[in-house]
Structure 1
């Protein structure tokens, strides 16, 4: 649920990439309660820290991960025997990958920047060429919605190494639970007013 609900923060405070989870948590706390709000707020840190034991990150120049986030990740990885490796070369980053995770290039609130971001990030597209540098059993992942041909190529998105459809299928029950909760809460509130 947290993975779905946190995205409303993009619309609440456009342009605040680092804080969108916190904005969403604040917005839903009254409706879904403090436990769900806390999960929404923690979704981004959890995604960053729990995705891999030895993440190899290849952020393009100008899109680097914040130093405080890297510091926390390095501390956590040191506790578990892992490490964080930074490079600007996507081929280097996928060399030993078990999973290659494509990140959205143009967030929902930044569509005016599409042409600029596409030009800056073209070398980071997850396509068959990039995956050919990863181990044969490495999989491709994306949280969706995916812009085919931008951050991930169509042949990868629908290809045999893709877990994207399975990821989406795993989110369906969560989306249904969110809708059920929201509709039920709205009905109860209408009856009491």
Structure 2
């Protein structure tokens, strides 16, 4: 087991059609982390794109991963990555979109239900436990009568993009702090943070 390694997974759907949609905000935040470490994603045999690096010299190793499959089938690739790299569920962080949080907000937690999020449901099933960390990135509820499935597959509005850039940096910061200082420290810094 690689005791200093963490697997950080950004949820989303593959391909250019989806890369700027609300559902892919987890992968967008993962891109920020990869840029900070000057790490490049490359195809891995687990049907994922993987980038590896460290937050700081001598710090924990971060394995950043994006599945090449669709959001609802994230479990297989996450389980395969965990086995390949020898990472236990208590060292897995999943970054994902959260309808139940207002846009431009973050919450962190470990375990719990999936709240109707099919990506989380599939990961919990594949790992045989829901006890992995989650960085929940608020995208808000759809306006009016718009269907939630349509809403999450739409790009962010132009008037949201400035706040989105800050939100993605915050999600990356929260992931780093969770690794270095633990869940409580990350929650204290990011829960209820006003921008």
Structure with bigger RCO (C-alpha 8 Å, 6+ apart): 2
The answer, yes or no, to whether TM exceeds 0.5 is: no
Compare the two structures and name the one with the higher strand fraction.
2
Greater percentage in helix: 1
